[in-house]
Amino acid sequence: MQQGDGTEAQVTWEDQQNINRFGRLNNRLHELQDEIKLAKEANENLDDAGNELILSDEDVVRFQIGEVFAHMPRDDVETRLEQMKEDAAKKLERLEEEKESILAQMAELKKILYGKFKDAINLEED
């Protein structure tokens, strides 16, 4: 809250709850941005792996499970990779959707809070 001239609106419990909700959404937004970055990287890695697999012509592929590289037949690896790519794509989609929802909720709260407090409150990213 900035310095006021004494005629600014009083903060009610409802206002405080709105401010709290905005804070929570903002935190979640930052977390999501990091998670989305990781998910995008994972998707890219899986695509690269798929491409490498197509280029190589070995029958036995070393597939990483945990900390070891298990020898697996090429077809099995292809199947697993497809499944992993699908899961990763779905996860990224889910994260992007959550981000859109949060941005919308934050915009709504900004309208309400700026409406009441005008420039006595600052809700922008510093």
> Using an 8 Å Cβ cutoff, are 95 and 39 in contact?
yes
30 vs 111, beta carbon nearer another protein: 30
| Window of 12-20, 46-54, 87-95, 96-104 that interacts with another protein by CB under 8 A | 12-20
The DSSP secondary-structure symbol of 10 reads: P
Q: Minimum Å distance from CB 77 to another protein?
A: 12
d(CA 18, CA 112): 9
d(CA 88, CA 41): 10
Q: Minimum Å distance from CB 28 to another protein?
A: 9
The angle at the Cα of 112, spanning 107 to 117, to the nearest 5 degrees, equals 120
HSE of 72, CA atoms in CB hemisphere, 13 A: 16
Q: Is 62 in the site for another protein (CB under 8 A)?
A: yes
| Window of 9-17, 38-46, 98-106, 107-115 that interacts with another protein by CB under 8 A | 9-17
Q: Give me the residues that bind another protein (CB under 8 A), please.
A: 1-6, 8, 10-13, 16, 19-20, 23-24, 27, 62, 65-71
